[in-house]
């Protein structure tokens, strides 16, 4: 099939220009692709490292929450619940609408009582969770939805010290954990202050002593324990697709733009014109 020459070019010049464009694009791809490949192959190891670091940070945060809960108990005689809300307001003069419906509500009592000085300790990975912004002077700012990743087990303030008190990442409305966050592990802070990661069952439930559930009456000395789940928000686009490497994505975009630019430049100014 004969080569159709652009205006002002001989068939030989047009053929040479087409060949040069292909060589330019090929050379560019050969230059960039190794870096893209290295970036993509390093993603799993970086994700694994970030995952382990997040697990360690969550364990540390869980223990900090336990210290705050203990400090609160020593002051008010029990852990924060529906009955302590009025006590905190009376003792501190707080005008906040304190309650104990969710984990955010319970931990907001700790803030109002002055036993924690940063809401960053409530950060834990989970669906719809994000890093707290650190603002907690006003009621509307303290522990907004998504800023607390821990669930709180509301039960008696004394008794079995091996029972779970603060856990993550619990799926809202259930006693099942999200196995995808830490490869089938759950963070559990016990009544004695120990923060551990436990292997979950295949269905995501926690296997306590003798296979007991989180709120099994046997574990809670025959008394009732209730899970207070954290308030979450709908995951943003970045949170849902944040597993992509930003560097690799930007590299692919840059390669695409450079390829288009070089192709157009050679079409406009072909060699030998």
Q: For residues 198 and 208, what is the distance between their CA atoms, to the nearest angstrom?
A: 9
Q: What is the pLDDT along the chain (273 residues), one digit of tens a residue?
A: 454 555 566 776 666 666 667 766 666 666 666 656 665 565 555 666 677 788 899 999 999 999 999 999 999 999 999 999 999 999 999 999 999 999 999 999 999 999 999 999 999 988 888 899 999 989 999 999 999 999 999 887 776 778 899 999 999 999 999 998 888 999 999 989 999 988 999 999 988 877 888 888 888 888 888 999 999 865 444 334 444 444 555 565 666 666 666 656 555 555 555
pTM of the model: 0.69
Q: For residues 162 and 218, what is the distance between their CA atoms, to the nearest angstrom?
A: 12
Q: For residues 66 and 165, what is the distance between their CA atoms, to the nearest angstrom?
A: 8
Q: Name every residue whose Cβ is closer than 8 Å to that of residue 50 and which is 6 or more positions away in sequence.
A: none
Q: pLDDT at position 147, please?
A: 94
Q: For residues 230 and 13, what is the distance between their CA atoms, to the nearest angstrom?
A: 69
């Amino acid at each position: 099939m004969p080569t159709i020459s652009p205006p002002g070019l001989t068939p030989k010049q047009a053929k040479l220009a087409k060949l040069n464009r292909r060589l330019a694009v090929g050379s560019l791809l050969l230059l960039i692709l190794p870096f893209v490949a290295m970036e993509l192959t390093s993603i799993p190891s970086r994700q694994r490292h970030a995952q382990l670091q997040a697990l360690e940070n969550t364990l540390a945060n869980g223990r900090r929450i336990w210290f705050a809960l203990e400090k609160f108990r020593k002051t008010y005689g029990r852990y924060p619940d529906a009955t302590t809300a009025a006590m905190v307001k009376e003792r501190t003069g707080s005008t906040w609408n304190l309650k104990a419906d969710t984990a955010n509500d319970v931990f907001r009592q700790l803030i109002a009582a002055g036993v924690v000085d940063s809401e960053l300790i409530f950060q834990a990975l989970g669906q719809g969770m994000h890093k707290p912004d650190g603002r907690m002077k006003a009621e509307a700012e303290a522990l907004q939805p998504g800023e607390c990743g821990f669930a709180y087990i509301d039960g008696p303030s004394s008794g079995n010290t091996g029972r779970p008190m603060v856990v993550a990442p619990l799926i809202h409305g259930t006693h099942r954990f999200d196995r995808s966050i830490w490869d089938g592990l759950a963070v559990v802070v016990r009544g004695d202050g120990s923060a551990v990661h436990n292997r979950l069952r295949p269905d995501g439930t926690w296997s306590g002593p003798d296979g007991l559930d989180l709120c099994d009456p046997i574990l809670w000395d025959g008394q009732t324990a209730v899970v207070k789940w954290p308030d979450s928000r709908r995951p943003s686009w970045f949170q849902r697709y944040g597993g992509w490497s930003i560097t690799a994505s930007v590299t692919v975009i840059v390669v695409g733009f450079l390829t288009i630019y070089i192709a157009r430049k050679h079409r406009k100014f072909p060699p030998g014109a």
